[in-house]
Structure 1
Amino acid sequence: MKGYVHSVETGGTVDGPGLRYVVFLQGCPLRCKFCHNPDTWQCKAGMGTSYTAEELVLDILKYKNFIKNGGVTLTGGEPLMQAEFAAEVLRRCTAQGLHTAIDTGGAIPLERARPAIDAAQLILLDIKHIDDAKCRALTGQGNENALRLLDYCQQTGKEVWIRHVVVPGLTDDLQDLERLAGWIAQYSVVKRVEILPFHKLGEYKWEQLGLNYELKNTPEPTVESIQRIRELFTKYNLNVQ
């Protein structure tokens, strides 16, 4: 079995606990307007670097002494597009005593994603929008699969960290956020909520790919607005970062 890898980061600090080896896998069915990795959307021969699970894990193990108190995170793109490959990588890492995580937008149907979800110790779930219609307008797909994934994690006792990107004018409506916070608060497996400010670091990639970047004139959120949103989530007794 082979997988397609866009790139790796050997000292990641924002994709799960501790210092981590982060694997960016090719492929994503979403077309988020704020995506900073549009070069990961396609998943086919010639895109990224081809690895077997064994080859990738052998490279990960070169850094085992550095990440032994952190672990390995598979992200993308959407790592669950390559669910069987991801599952095999995660199982091999777990067997080596490494903590494992998947960073996902939850866009892949559970039936297809389950092998990788079951193999991971932590799920970093990006909920793009709690409103299905607004989620579809923002990403090209509704939120049904993401919410179903969260239900599955609750049923199986899988630890989840929720992530939400704040984009002014698109994902910062306080009524929507109040609804999202109330929804998340129902789940005992959610141990952390990360409120992430939108940024434009990937804008140049859109230009290089000849894609229309609709958020060219969208400002980054203010420190004050992010703090206000974090306080809103804290009202629901959530661990907010």
Structure 2
Amino acid sequence: MSTVQILEPGSRYDLRAGISPDAPDEGQLKDEEGTFGYCHSYETSSRYDGPGLRVVLFVSGCLLRCTYCHNPDTWHLKDGTYVSADHVLRRLSDFVPALLPLGGGLTISGGEPMVQLAFTRRIFAGAKALGLHTAIQTSGFLGDRADENYLSNIDLVLLDIKSSDPDTYRRVTGHDLAPTLRFAERLASLSKPVWVRFTLVPGETDDPANVDGIARFVAPMKNVEWVEVQPFHQMGSFKWKAMGIDYKLLNTPPASNDLVNRVIGQFHAAGCQVR
């Protein structure tokens, strides 16, 4: 049984490993109540993960194994801190007076928030009760788990569409593309606001046909407010080394300005609002 702990503020770039060694496997978690969960850290002043000034909660657990992941220490529940949802919401309530005037709110990222569905459901509902705007950062791979009640407490979905090509998607994540596209289509049918995020990795996701495929898929969706092109970086590579995980992209360079501009141009040409 994991020991309930206090969640300290930190950074998505902090290395956290082995904090809850008796936690269940991220693919085997069974929790209908969501009273407790596993978290990596939280940040209190993000202007990147949704509108306004935001608290970002990074939860543990992810089923994808992206080759370019900068937070492999969020893959497993055992690397997270075991905390109560009430504790998280008490911490969050302290920031409400600062967040509301600045048009901000709460974003839950990861890892993958839908691994801990009941836990994140409880936190989203609590954040809405505090009057906050809510956002989720998700790959959409587990989108079928999110019922209407879950989505009703989320104002914005930051949806990572990592590839339009099934073979490329499987190569870079280890899983199938179809669930993500299915979830995106469902969000469109619900008119749920979405920012699509695309990580641009030289030699992995930068093929023009791959980019065009995402652009053509996204452009007709009226609920997609932005496509955000995120250039690959090496800021999390030290975690792979520290955790003894083989990092195949160690020598992959950041995306050049010319490449970023080409990709932004492709999305723009397809009719997407892109940045």
TM-score normalized with structure 2 length? 0.84
1:208 matched to 2:242? The reply is: yes
Matched with 1:53 is: 85
**Alignment-mate amino acid for residue 125 of structure 2:** R
For residue 236 of structure 1, report the CA deviation from its aligned partner: 2.0
Can you give the 5+ residue segments of structure 1 that lack an aligned partner in the other structure? none
**Alignment-mate amino acid for residue 80 of structure 2:** G
1:189 matched to 2:229? The reply is: no
Matched with 1:218 is: 252
1:6 counterpart SS class = strand
Q: State the identity %.
A: 39
Q: Where do 1:1-241 residues align within 5 Å?
A: 1-44=35-78, 47-68=79-100, 69-110=103-144, 112-114=145-147, 115-241=149-275
Cα RMSD, aligned residues only: 1.1
For residue 109 of structure 1, report the CA deviation from its aligned partner: 4.6
Contact 1:117 1:123 in 2 (8 A): no
Map Cα deviations across residues 127-172 of structure 1 (whole Å, 9 max, x no partner).
1111111101110011111111111111211111000000001101
- Counterparts of 1:171 and 1:232 in 2: how far apart (Å)? 14
- Counterparts of 1:173 and 1:128 in 2: how far apart (Å)? 12
Contact 1:101 1:120 in 2 (8 A): yes
Contact 2:138 2:158 in 1 (8 A): yes
**Alignment-mate amino acid for residue 204 of structure 1:** F
**Alignment-mate amino acid for residue 181 of structure 2:** L
List structure 1 segments (4+ residues) > 4 angstroms apart after TM superposition. none
Contact 2:44 2:54 in 1 (8 A): yes
For residue 113 of structure 1, report the CA deviation from its aligned partner: 2.7
- Counterparts of 1:30 and 1:199 in 2: how far apart (Å)? 19
- Counterparts of 1:43 and 1:33 in 2: how far apart (Å)? 19
- Counterparts of 1:23 and 1:34 in 2: how far apart (Å)? 21
TM-score normalized with structure 1 length? 0.96
For residue 239 of structure 1, report the CA deviation from its aligned partner: 1.1
Map Cα deviations across residues 72-107 of structure 1 (whole Å, 9 max, x no partner).
000001111111111111111111110000000112
- Counterparts of 1:217 and 1:116 in 2: how far apart (Å)? 40
For residue 52 of structure 1, report the CA deviation from its aligned partner: 2.2
- Counterparts of 2:150 and 2:241 in 1: how far apart (Å)? 33
Map Cα deviations across residues 154-207 of structure 1 (whole Å, 9 max, x no partner).
121111100000000110111111111011012111111000000000000000
